[in-house]
């Protein structure tokens, strides 16, 4: 964890809420002091924290036996399990591991998770926040993998695939070693589809179906553009699929999208706009934001991670679906097997999903889906050394880019 950035020695302490102000030096080091009111609001009465001895002034209360092993990291938050047992109305604890916990996205995401907005107001959760230290402790249920190196000046996409791919190979191995086989993994760090493929290939004990690449940000962006064009509220847009890669080859599907229950093409009759402007705006939205703001989307990515998880833990509304990048292992759309491809999915709310079968296809859609498929197959060849498929051979199409690269 980023502890290594400011200290090399750790001391583990348990804090009560009244002692949180002294704890805030620990939390604020990682820009997460915003968590404090949320911890209070959720009656978190103990926080487990690793900080340097000279930063700790609070008395140490006995460590509950329910906290297993050591806690690595600047901050390592968990509910007091003993108290949870006493509170009969509480559901059983869900552990959530988040890598890149000190990054911009996490800065927005963590308190949304802690607020109860994602898993429910009555659902206790334990956040396992991970940074540079690649250890995954007591990992069960959900892992949100954000931590990745941003592309630096002059860095080729093939280099990024290799550098970040190695992170996700390690994390796949760590998950394989310690996580429950029921864990659901959301890969955010880019290039997220291929990172998710690398991660799942390195975690053979975990079903490949449990791995997701985040394309929900793209779905949200696409819904927003259709809503703006149609002059309706965002929540009137449904059945929005993002096909393919989280890159500029992604395909926002206006053929199947609906606005106020009607086909989007019947509401927005400007086909030229749908085929050209809409598609390109969504594909390049990340890059436009980086140009405007100087940094990549953080708050909206955090919101989209919340949306992506919520879509898996709540039943999908009748007739609707959501997009997520999933492992292709038998699909009704003729997409190549053994890649991570964004497709339309539904969930019963049990954390699992199924592909939506009855979607329309036309030549426009098919042609663009093929392009994104070709890009992902090329990315896969680039990381053969990380997926156990032998030597890498990198022949990426020249125009292949992350949304943030344009
Ligand atoms: N799929 C999507 O829709 C989107 C994906 N992204 C991607 O999300 C990722 C994170 O973005 P953001 O939070 O803005 O980036 P930041 O640069 O703000 O944070 C990067 C985080 O990654 C961690 N990190 C860096 N190297 C490693 C490593 N070797 N192992 C583990 N963790 C590491 C850093 O941790 P530490 O400081 O502890 O080293 C830091 O917390 C990027 O890859 C970005 O491209 C962004 C937007 C949308
Ligand atoms: O390239 C990035 O880091 C940003 C990104 O994925 C997006 O905004 O969709």
Residue 142's pLDDT is what?
84
The answer on pLDDT for 86 being more than 80 is no
Domain edge (last residue) among 191, 213, 235 = 213
Query: How do residues 122-133 score in pLDDT, each as one tens digit?
Result: 788 888 877 654
Whose CA is closest to 252, among 230, 227, 234, 274? 274
Among residues 183, 213, 243, the one where a domain terminates is 213
Confidence of residue 53 (pLDDT cuts 50, 70, 90): very low
Question: Do 204 and 75 have their domain in common?
Answer: yes
Question: Phi first, then psi: what are they for 397, rounded to 5°?
Answer: -60, 145
List pLDDT tens digits, range 336-365. Answer: 999 999 999 999 998 999 999 999 999 999
Mutate to test the pocket of ligand 2, among 157, 214, 296 (most ligand atoms within 8 A of CB): 296
Region of 349 (left: φ > 0; alpha: ψ -120 to 50; beta: rest) is: left
Cα 100 to averaged position of ligand 1 atoms, centre (Å): 5
- Which ligand approaches the C-alpha of residue 406 most closely? 2
Residues 95 and 174 in one domain: yes
69 has a pLDDT exceeding 90: no
Mean predicted confidence (pLDDT) in 309-321: 94
The position carrying tokens 């927003």 is 224
Ligand 1 centre distance from Cα of residue 164 (Å): 10
Ligand closest to 145 (CA) is 1
Cα(191) to centroid of ligand 1, in Å?
11
Together in a domain, 342 and 203: no
The verdict on 160 and 229 lying in the same domain is no
Identify whether 395 is part of a domain.
no
Ligand 1 proximal residues by C-beta, below 6 Å: 2, 99-100, 102-105, 131-132, 146-150, 167, 188-190, 192, 214, 217, 246, 296-298, 301, 404
Q: Which ligand is nearest to the CA of 216?
A: 1
Using the predicted structure, report yes or no on whether residue 291 has a pLDDT greater than 90: no
Q: Same domain, yes or no, for 170 and 239?
A: no
Instruction: Residue 402: name the closest of 304, 286, 258, 252 by CA.
Output: 286
Each residue's pLDDT tens digit, 133-144: 433 433 348 899
Nearest CA to ligand 2 atom 9: 286
Ligand 1 site-directed mutation target among 2, 6, 102, 103, most atoms within 8 Å of CB: 103
Residue nearest to atom 7 of ligand 2 (CA): 286
Question: What is the pairing mode between strands 184-187 and 211-213?
Answer: parallel
More confident residue, 7 or 58: 58
Same domain, 223 and 167: no
CA 62–ligand 1 middle distance (angstroms):
35
Provide mean pLDDT across the span 375-391: 93
What region does 154 belong to: left with phi over 0, alpha with psi -120 to 50, or beta? left
How far away, in angstroms, is 166 Cα from ligand 2 center? 19
Q: How far is the CA of 402 from the centre of ligand 2 (A)?
A: 6
Same domain, 224 and 205: no
Domain total for the chain? 2
Identity of the highest mean pLDDT range in 221-225, 387-391, 397-401: 221-225
Among 23-27, 254-258, 271-275, 286-290, the least confident range: 23-27
Nearest to 143 by CA among 84, 195, 82, 191: 195
Q: Could you identify the atom of ligand 2 that is nearest to the CA of residue 402? A: 1
- Predicted confidence (pLDDT) per residue in 208-264, tens digit: 999 999 999 999 999 999 999 999 999 999 999 999 999 999 999 999 999 999 999
- Is the residue at 400 inside a domain? no
C-alpha 340/C-alpha 101 separation (Å) is: 24
In which region does residue 338 sit, left (phi positive, over 0), alpha (psi from -120 to 50) or beta (all else)? left
Phi and psi torsions of 294, nearest 5°: 90, -10
Here the CATH number for the domain that contains residue 95 is 3.40.50.720
- Domain termination residue (choose one: 213, 245, 271): 213
Nearest CA to ligand 2 atom 8: 286
Given a contact cutoff of 8 angstroms between Cβ atoms, the answer to whether 69 and 136 are in contact is no
Which positions ≥6 away from 175 have C-beta within 8 Å? Answer: 136, 139, 143, 183, 185, 199, 203, 206
- Structure confidence at residue 263 (pLDDT): 98
Q: Is the pLDDT of residue 16 over 70?
A: no
The answer to whether residue 355 sits within a structural domain is: yes
Q: Is the ipTM of this structure higher than 0.95?
A: yes
Residue 371 falls inside a structural domain: yes
What CATH number did the domain enclosing 282 receive? 3.90.110.10
Is residue 392 one of the residues assigned to a domain?
A: no
Q: Which domain holds residue 132?
A: 3-213
> Same structural domain for residues 99 and 165?
yes
Atom from ligand 1 closest to the CA of residue 216 = 3
124 and 27 share a domain? yes
Which of the ligands is closest to the CA of residue 213? 1
Nearest CA, atom 1, ligand 1: 188
Residue 396 within a domain: no
Of residues 55 and 118, more confidently modeled: 118
What ligand 1 atom has the least distance to the C-alpha of 106?
A: 13
The rounded Å distance from CA 189 to ligand 1 centre is 6
List the single range of 50-54, 191-195, 396-400 with lowest mean pLDDT: 50-54
- Say whether both 223 and 109 belong to one domain: no
Residues annotated as catalytic (active site), given as ranges? 246
SS (H, E, C) the chain: CCHHHHCCCCEEEEECHHHHHHHHHHHHHCCCCCHHHHHHHCCCCCEEEEECHHHCCCCCCCCCCCCCCCCCCCECCCCCHHHHHHCCCCCCCEEEEEECCCCHHHHHHHHHHHCCCCCCCCCCEEEEEECCCCCCCCCCCEEEECCCCCCCCCCCHHHHHHHHHHHHHHHHHHHHHHCCCCCEEEECCCCHHHHHHHHHHCCCCCCHHHEEECCHHHHHHHHHHHHHHHCCCHHHEECCEEEECCCCCCEEECCCCEECCEEHHHHCCCHHHHHHHHHHHHHHHHHHHHHHHCCCCCHHHHHHHHHHHHHHHCCCCCCCCEEEEEECCCCCCCCCCCCEEEEEEECCCCCCCEECCCCCCCHHHHHHHHHHHHHHHHHHHHCHHHHCCCCCCCCCCCCCCCHHHC
Residue 168 vs residue 406, higher pLDDT: 168
Q: Which residues line ligand 2 (CB under 6 A)?
A: 190, 217, 286, 296-297, 402-404
Whether residue 265 sits in one domain with residue 205? no
Mean pLDDT of 399-404: 62
- Average pLDDT estimate for 184-213: 97
**Which atom of ligand 2 lies at the shortest distance from residue 300's CA?**
8
Distance of alpha carbon 222 from alpha carbon 216, whole angstroms: 10
- In a domain? residue 398: no
- Looking from the CA of residue 190, the nearest atom of ligand 1 is 43
Q: Are residues 105 and 229 in the same domain?
A: no
What percent of the chain has a predicted confidence (pLDDT) above 70? 72
Residue 32 belongs to some domain of the structure:
yes
């Amino acid at each position: 964890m980023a502890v290594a950035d400011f200290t090399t020695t750790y001391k583990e302490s348990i804090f009560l809420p009244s002692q949180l102000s002294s704890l805030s030096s620990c939390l604020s080091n990682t820009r997460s002091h915003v968590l404090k009111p949320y911890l209070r609001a959720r009656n978190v009465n103990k926080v487990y924290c690793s900080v340097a001895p000279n930063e700790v002034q609070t008395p140490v209360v006995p460590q509950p036996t329910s906290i297993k092993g050591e806690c690595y990291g600047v901050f390592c938050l968990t509910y007091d399990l003993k108290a949870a047992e006493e509170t009969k109305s509480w559901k059983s604890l869900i552990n959530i591991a988040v890598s890149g916990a000190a990054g911009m996205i996490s800065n927005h995401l963590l308190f949304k998770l802690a607020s109860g907005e994602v898993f429910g107001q009555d659902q206790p959760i334990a956040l396992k926040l991970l940074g540079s230290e690649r250890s995954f402790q007591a990992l069960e249920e959900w892992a949100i993998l954000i931590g990745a190196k941003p592309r630096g000046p002059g860095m080729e996409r093939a280099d990024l695939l290799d550098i970040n791919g190695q992170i996700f190979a390690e994390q796949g191995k760590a998950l394989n070693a310690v996580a429950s086989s029921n864990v659901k993994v959301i890969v955010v760090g880019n290039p997220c589809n291929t990172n998710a493929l690398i991660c799942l290939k390195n975690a053979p004990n975990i079903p490949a179906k449990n791995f997701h690449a985040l394309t929900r940000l793209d779905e949200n962006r696409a819904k927003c553009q259709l809503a703006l064009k149609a002059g309706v509220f965002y929540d009137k847009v449904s059945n929005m699929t993002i096909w393919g890669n989280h890159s500029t080859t992604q395909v926002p599907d206006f053929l199947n999208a609906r606005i106020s229950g009607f086909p989007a093409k019947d509401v927005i009759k400007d086909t030229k706009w749908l085929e050209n402007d809409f598609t390109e705006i969504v594909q390049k939205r990340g890059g436009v934001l980086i140009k405007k703001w100087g940094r990549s989307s953080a708050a909206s990515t955090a919101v989209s991670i919340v949306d992506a998880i919520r879509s898996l833990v709540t039943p999908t509304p009748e007739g609707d679906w959501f997009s997520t990048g999933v492992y292709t292992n038998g699909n009704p759309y003729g997409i190549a097997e053994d890649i991570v491809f964004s497709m339309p999915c539904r969930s019963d709310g049990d954390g699992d999903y199924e592909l939506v079968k009855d979607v329309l296809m036309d030549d426009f859609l098919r042609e663009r889906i093929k392009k994104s498929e070709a890009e992902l197959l090329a990315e896969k060849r680039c990381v053969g050394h990380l997926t156990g498929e032998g030597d890498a051979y990198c022949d990426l199409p020249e125009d292949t880019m992350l949304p943030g690269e344009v």
